[in-house]
Structure formats: structure tokens, C-alpha cells
Amino acid sequence: MEKKKKNRKKRTEFIIKRLHNYYGRTGFYMFVWESVKKAFFPTIFAVIALFVFNKYVYDVNKGLETITETFSRLGILITFFISETILGLVPPEIFIAWTKKTTSPILNLALLATLSYCGGLLSYFIGKITLKIKSVKNYLEVKMADNLKNTKKWGGFLIIAGALLPLPFSIACLAAGMIKYPFKNVVLFGLFRFLRFTIYAWAIFKVVT
């Protein structure tokens, strides 16, 4: 029994070492580091900017109350869906904060997360259609060859990063469509989008009263 445990441990260590060598050799760690680095500073900036804006420039709570009273719930949800489909034009944090001011914040938050998720899936197919444009295809195959290679290799991480980090989820899904990344994987990894909305809502709801 003890011998089996030792053999299992050695096998596990061997596999981990091989994976580590493979990821180091292929540049995966650098790919992850560059992605996290690009997202870190925008995240810190967004949090600080929201705090400063709310304290010294304009009362966020008052603004959200105005939005809630002025625009219909359906109109806001449609606007959000369009934004989440077309390159994430409007930061979803604004809409998350809006849900806190509604009569059913949890329900509306769930709707936002679902619409964001569906918008990303729609962006995937937009990416596939865009790839049919000859100039776009040539640009990807020639100018972006190295990035395209890494993206194809680690497309799953790209989707997870887009779903969790303050990077437009639709752009990640658009890129996945353009590189013909398996749609079933986009559907699976894209579910992290719901986790992102949960975490951000927890933080934003503490600021919005």
C-alpha cells in the first residue's frame, strides 16, 4: 500500500513537471502574464475612479435613481444586450449598479448576466462571419500569425479571462469565432461570466445604497 502511494506520488510529480516544462517552453506562462497584466491596472483604475467619482464629482446613487425613473426596464436591458454583443461599448458595472436600485435586484442581475453571456455567444458567430471577409482573413493570417497561434492553442483561457476580467467578453468571443475555436468550449468556459457578475455585484452593492 505504501509503495503504491509512493509510485502514485512520483507519477503525479512527473506529470506536473512535464506540464510545467511544456507550458514554459511554449510560452503559455508569458501569455497568461501578459493577459493578467493588461487587466490588472484597468481593474484598479476602475475601482478607484468609481470611488473618486462617487465622492467628489457626482452622487452615483442619485444618478442611478434618475436612470431608473427615466428609462424603462426593457429599454435598459435591450441597450445592455446590444452593448455586450458589440464590443462591450458600455461598462457592465453601470448596469450592475442599476440593478441595486430596482425592486428586484437579484432577478435583474441574473437577467444581465444571462444577456451578457448570450451577447458573447452571438459575438462568436459574428466573428465567424467576419472571417469570411478576405482582407480580415489575410490580416489575421499574415500580420497576426503569432498571436493567432497562441490564441488557438489557449483559446479556453482567452474565454475565461474575457468572462472574469474587466475585458470586453464580446471581444474574446469574437476572437474565438474568428479562429474557429470550438463553440461548445465557448459555451462551457463562458459560464464563468455568471461568476463575474456575482463577484462584481457583491462589491458594487456595497457602494450603491
**14-70 pLDDT, tens per residue?**
666 665 565 566 565 566 666 555 555 555 665 566 666 666 666 656 666 666 667
Over residues 137-160, the mean pLDDT reads 62
Structural domain harbouring 128:
45-207
Q: Is 21 within a domain?
A: no
pTM of this prediction? 0.70
146: confidence class by pLDDT, cuts 50, 70, 90: low
Tell me the per-residue pLDDT of 93-105, one tens digit each, with 9 for 90 and over: 888 888 888 888 9
For residue 125, what pLDDT is reported? 92
Q: What pLDDT, on a 0 to 100 scale, did the predictor assign at position 177?
A: 84
Would 146 be classed as within a structural domain? Answer: yes
Q: Comparing C-alpha atoms, which of 88, 174, 163, 85 is closest to residue 129?
A: 174
In a domain, 37, yes or no: no
Residue 91 lies in a domain: yes
| Within-domain flag for 117 | yes
Q: How confident is the model at residue 194 (pLDDT cuts 50, 70, 90)?
A: very high
Return the pLDDT at 7.
Answer: 61
Residue 95 corresponds to which amino acid? F
The answer to whether 177 and 125 are in contact (CB under 8 A) is: yes
The answer to whether residue 83 scores a pLDDT higher than 80 is yes
Q: Is residue 175 pLDDT above 90, yes or no?
A: no
Any domain includes 30: no
**Separation in Å, CA 122 to CA 24, 44, 94, 205:** 34, 29, 22, 29
Quick one: cell of 135? 482582407
pLDDT at 173: 86
pLDDT number for residue 40:
56
Q: Which residue has the cell 464629482?
A: 57
Rounded Cα distance, 138 and 179, in Å: 13
Query: Into how many domains does the chain fold?
Result: 1
Angle at 15 between CA 13 and CA 18, to 5 degrees: 110
Lowest-confidence segment of 82-86, 93-97, 160-164, 186-190 by average pLDDT: 160-164
Give the pLDDT confidence score for residue 158 in this predicted structure.
75
| Between 77 and 42, residue with greater pLDDT | 77
Residue 15 lies in a domain: no
| Count of CB atoms situated within 10 Å of the CB of 12 | 10
Query: Does residue 54 belong to any structural domain of this protein?
Result: yes
